[in-house]
Amino acid sequence: MIQNNNQGALQHPLGTGFNAQSTASDVISGIDLTGKIVIVTGGNAGIGVETTRTLAAAGATVIVPARDVDKARKNLEGIQRVEIEAMDFMDPGSIDAFADKFLHSGRPLHLLINNAGIMWVPLRKDARGIESQFVTNYIGQFHLTAKLWPALKRANGARVVNVSSLGHHMGNIDFNDPNFEHRDYETLAAYGQSKTASNLFALELDNRARDYHVRAYAVHPGSIGGTELAREAPVALFQQMGFLDENGDMRPEVLASLKTIPQGAATTVWAATSPLLNDLGGVYCEDGDVAELLSFDPAVESNAKFHQSGVMQYSLDEHSAKRLWVMSEKMTGIAFDVK
């Protein structure tokens, strides 16, 4: 029996019956989370709000660490069993402070939803010199998960869900220059490598953590209308990706493919709660199911990034996952010993 998803060995759809139109409420139907403790990063904006609302409605206590606490309070007003705390992935000290406060509470952590993310931003770096998309979309995930590991283990049955993206098709990790110190900055390449890293982290975390009853997943929520991800994006980038025509208008086929926010949160919620995943981890999921594996080489097939679904095999590569773990420990200064 195959035990891990290295090279995508377990990337086979389960036939759940869910699809791109399924909503977060659909996939959690019949599941009771009473007494469960959940952390949702970025849980105060976009699909994060829907994720928070859905999990809380199922009975969970949901903690939302947010960069802007006042904004979070406004966006989450009226949702029961929600706690809001300050945290900013660009500030490693704030991650430590948040995690320390949670650990001091003595509570177990049943679900960690690494949902926070950015896209289409110009070149920025944190105080350590790490590129902002790599920090926010991946390094922050690694840092927070490492710090919260004792609480995840204490739950005796926890899940970590990394919100990744089909955008991982846009780029593998440049291990020699992840922070664009020796190459021209391309925002989509930076986004792609950050999401590839998120997939690899879920793979390796699951391999290391499953003996402690902690499973990990990466999910693609879909292309979603009504979020804040595009707030800094110039029109030219959307045209480059084929979303807009030469006049700057959204192509009809793109508009028709966009998910609503409840649909966009569905795969996150499914990966966090589905009993079908009780004995399966390290997989990349989309549309409420395990995704198909794309085994071709994107360096050879130049149209690879135009595929509308599926996971690239390079983002589930065993060697790359282990190499990324070591690099992440060096970048953060954290020895993430899963034991």
- The candidate with the shortest Cα–Cα distance to 199, out of 168, 158, 159, 160, is 168
Whether 212 sits among the annotated catalytic residues: the reply is no
Q: Extract the tokens encoding 16.
A: 């759940």
Q: Extract the tokens encoding 327.
A: 């690099």
Q: One of 138, 191, 217, 284 is an active-site residue; which one?
A: 191
Query: Is there a contact between 289 and 11 (Cβ–Cβ < 8 Å)?
Result: no
Amino acid at 7: Q
Q: What is the rounded CA–CA span in Å between residue 91 and residue 128?
A: 10
C-alpha neighbours within 13 Å on the C-beta side of residue 203: 31
Tell me the CA distances in angstroms from 11 to 7, 27, 142, 156, 218, one per residue in order: 9, 20, 23, 25, 12
Q: What is the rounded CA–CA span in Å between residue 323 and residue 317?
A: 10
CA-based radius of gyration for the chain = 18
Q: Which residues are catalytic?
A: 191
